[in-house]
Structure 1
Amino acid sequence: MNVLKAGMAVMVITVAVLALREYVPKQAVQAVVDKVSGNAAPAARGDSRHGFVDIPLPDGQSGYHVVIFAPPNCPSEAARRADLLAQYLDREGIPYARASSADFSTLRSQEEANRVMAVMNGSIPVVFVRHRARANPSPDDVVAEYRAGGSS
């Protein structure tokens, strides 16, 4: 039952975000995009200095390795960035997993759902390092976040 409620909440949030895009000034939308993509200063909430945002892990993820979310076997530039990131992490000896979708059935608040939506709707690849995520981070930022061990 909770999964249904969470799924419905995510669906409602998605529709609301799409509707708000028509009425919210572009500067406000850009401020959120900058925050999610790491172009803004970290907030006191616990966001990292590498631009990663504190959000819950997707269902089934342990948080002990890096997770790269991108479409599989896609010839797009975004998929190529995901492939290059995976190669970089291999060279650096950092464990990672790849995934093409994420489910969040344990969101506890609207604010938490908003943070998840902001990150997951960002540019691909979306990368999780422990309990933080960022849309389209640089390979160096992923490595720095991972090596910081959650203390950044």
Structure 2
Amino acid sequence: MRDVELSGEGRRVVVVVLDQGDEAVAAVNEVARRRGILAAQVTAVGGFSTAEVGYFDWRIRDYQRIPVPEQVEVLALTGDIAEFRGEPALHVHAVLGRRDGSTVGGHLLRAEVWPTLEVIVTEVAASLAKRVDPETGLALLSGAARSRTGR
């Protein structure tokens, strides 16, 4: 894994290049922790040898795990990093392309990189916090991210 920080226009951009065998979620969280990034947008492209995505089932307040035990292309990966319990927390969704052109997608729970994953982390605010929502049990963006009108 390699990462480089670029600065400009009052915000940081960190480019992270993950190598074959890296676990994507853990690696991006580690870079965010090391660089002190607590609020950012995240995008990426690349590939995985295996992955697991999830669909949040609101009735049981947990993810229905969807294993992806095959090589896939990362067609789209987008989400955020926000502060959760004093640490950066990565929350990304992925659309993964299979060999036959079909896709699978959901909340990215884990993925083994192959051959690479190119991640762009763009800082967006000085403080963006997540709090556990008692209704869903999910860590959701707090009121700081809502508009001034409360919507």
Q: If the length of structure 1 is used for normalisation, what is the TM-score?
A: 0.22
| Structure with greater proportional strand content | 2
